[in-house]
Amino acid sequence: MKGLPRRLAVAALLVVIAGQSKPPGWRTASPPAPATAVVLVSVDTLRADRLGVYGHRPSVTPAMDALARDAVLFRWAIAQGPSTLVSHASMFTSAVPQHHGASINRHTSLAADRTTLAEALRAQGFRTLAFHGGGQLDAAFGMGRGFQRYQVETGRFAVTVDKVLHFLERAHPSRFFLFVHTYQAHHPYTPEPQDLAALDAGYRGSLPGTISIELLDAINGNQQTPISPEDLRHIEHAYEAGVHSVDTAFGGLVEGLKRLGMYDDSLVILTSDHGEEFFEHGKVGLHGHTLYDELLRVPLLVKYPRSWRAGSVLDAQVRSLDIAPTVLACLRLPAPAGFEGEDLTPYVAGGPPPPPFAVSAIDGGGSSLRTQGWKWDRGALYDLRRDPAERADVSGGNARLATALRLQRERLALAVPGNAEAVTVDPALRERLRALGYVE
């Protein structure tokens, strides 16, 4: 590209990176039947690589693995933030964090001019319901907009599932959008003793079965509490035991939907908002402050009505902000003008993948741009095919590519004058955030 004007050179590089032309002879499958209801389940802090269907052995997620047999699995789903509010706000509004405005660190809510998925569905006559863990999803941050019922549930996920099924059995809504969320896999890790024992029978170290936020702070604070590789694996087992408990409750939710006759014709989506760190980059049991893949890669399973394209595994990169447009398309409803994501259904049907650029941002901080093979992260450049662990910054030897990705990130995440409202964090909300490790 020597001699090309800079702007043309950048554009040419982006075309090479994108690779979005349709494969020769591609054909699409018949579209799925329209859904009558939508069930969106978000397991907070669930890493994709902790599900059996994403390669974890031994599997601690048999119920989620079973859903995958009825669903489409997206191998590379990228969240738009490494923390709860930023990521869910992108999921609900199909907008990058720079545009939706919701922030814990800045104490701001969703921008008033952003339409949420719940608002779009309620306007079309759907009953909109949410059973969630509160905290960063508190209604004060605008996350309850569009929901007729926005109920906080801070207990075990199994208790939440029981309440969800009791409500559905009693009300038996015909057209509904149900959002279900849990923090049970989030720190502090408080696994059921029997679940931890099954994974951690050989541990002989000194760490307790419950991994508190105070303990994680001590470990991460200049290594005041040094740990061994065995201790680290024990912490991971405590996390995975919590994931297993969530999985068991998730299995109960699926069985309940089947028993109520609500499963076959519904769009059922399982995902997460972000992952968790286990010393990949120097911290353990934390998230929110980096944009590495251990935090941004999340599971995404989409069970279409009548299990259309069941068992499919798709390898192209997709984004959490693609979920809302996919939901509306499956209901044969138009997406609001402000949605920035893509309906994934044409890709599932055999068409080309969605745009390859995923913007993600730290709450109130810097942002990254990820493609299938590269990540530009606040000046650093990682070759994900040669260096999936994101250890070596190769921007020095790839200056033109780094510039192209930076400019693309600026174009997609151009800061816009926001109309997000300031949020007052009352004592009850502050205490809930503190319990989750978000407030000093």
Query: Taking the C-alpha atoms of 154, 157, 163 and 167 in order, what is their torsion angle to the nearest 10 degrees?
Result: 110
Share of the chain above pLDDT 70, in %: 92
Q: What is the pLDDT of residue 90?
A: 98
More confident residue, 431 or 95: 95
pLDDT at 24 over 50: no
Q: What is the pLDDT of residue 414?
A: 83
Predicted confidence band at 347 (pLDDT cuts at 50, 70, 90)? very high
Q: What is the pLDDT of residue 424?
A: 82
Question: 232-291 pLDDT, tens per residue?
Answer: 999 999 999 999 999 999 999 999 999 999 999 999 999 999 999 999 999 999 999 999
In this prediction, residues 197-220 reach a mean pLDDT of: 94
371 lies in some domain: no
In this prediction, residues 349-359 reach a mean pLDDT of: 95
Q: What is the pLDDT of residue 139?
A: 95
pLDDT at 399 over 90: yes
Predicted confidence band at 10 (pLDDT cuts at 50, 70, 90)? low
More confident residue, 3 or 113: 113
368 lies in some domain: no
Query: Measured between alpha carbons, how far is 237 from 60 in angstroms, rounded to an integer?
Result: 10
- Cβ atoms within 10 A of the Cβ of 297, count? 22
Least confident of 97-111, 218-232, 363-377: 218-232
pLDDT at 83 over 70: yes
Q: What is the pLDDT of residue 273?
A: 98
Domain that holds residue 282: 34-355+422-435
pLDDT at 3 over 90: no
Q: What is the pLDDT of residue 2?
A: 46
pLDDT at 73 over 90: yes
Question: 28-61 pLDDT, tens per residue?
Answer: 677 788 999 999 999 999 999 999 999 999 999 9
Q: What is the pLDDT of residue 221?
A: 87
385 lies in some domain: no
The pTM score is 0.93
Q: Which of 290, 272, 271, 288 is nearest to 280 (CA)?
A: 290
188: alpha, beta or left, given left = phi > 0 and alpha = psi -120 to 50? beta
Question: 302-326 pLDDT, tens per residue?
Answer: 999 999 999 999 999 999 999 999 9
Q: What is the pLDDT of residue 433?
A: 83
Question: 177-193 pLDDT, tens per residue?
Answer: 999 999 999 999 999 99
In this prediction, residues 370-381 reach a mean pLDDT of: 97
Query: Measured between alpha carbons, how far is 389 from 294 in angstroms, rounded to an integer?
Result: 9
In this prediction, residues 315-338 reach a mean pLDDT of: 97
pLDDT at 213 over 80: yes
Predicted confidence band at 4 (pLDDT cuts at 50, 70, 90)? very low
In this prediction, residues 106-117 reach a mean pLDDT of: 94
Share of the chain above pLDDT 90, in %: 83
Contact 284, 278 (CB under 8 A): yes
Q: Identify the bridge partners of residue 422 per DSSP, sorted by sequence position.
A: 108
φ/ψ of residue 409, rounded to 5: -60, -40
180 lies in some domain: yes
177 lies in some domain: yes
381: alpha, beta or left, given left = phi > 0 and alpha = psi -120 to 50? beta
8 lies in some domain: no
Burial class (CB in 10 A: 0-12, 13-18, 19+), 51: buried
pLDDT at 78 over 70: yes
2 lies in some domain: no
Q: What is the pLDDT of residue 194?
A: 95
Tally the domains of the chain: 1
- β 367-370/374-377 pair status: antiparallel
Distances (CA, A) of 242 to 82, 180, 185, 234, 248: 20, 17, 5, 13, 10
pLDDT at 365 over 50: yes
Q: Which of 358, 370, 357, 418 is nearest to 103 (CA)?
A: 418
204 lies in some domain: yes
pLDDT at 26 over 60: no
Q: Which of 76, 31, 2, 19 is nearest to 329 (CA)?
A: 31
Give the domain CATH number at 94.
Answer: 3.40.720.10
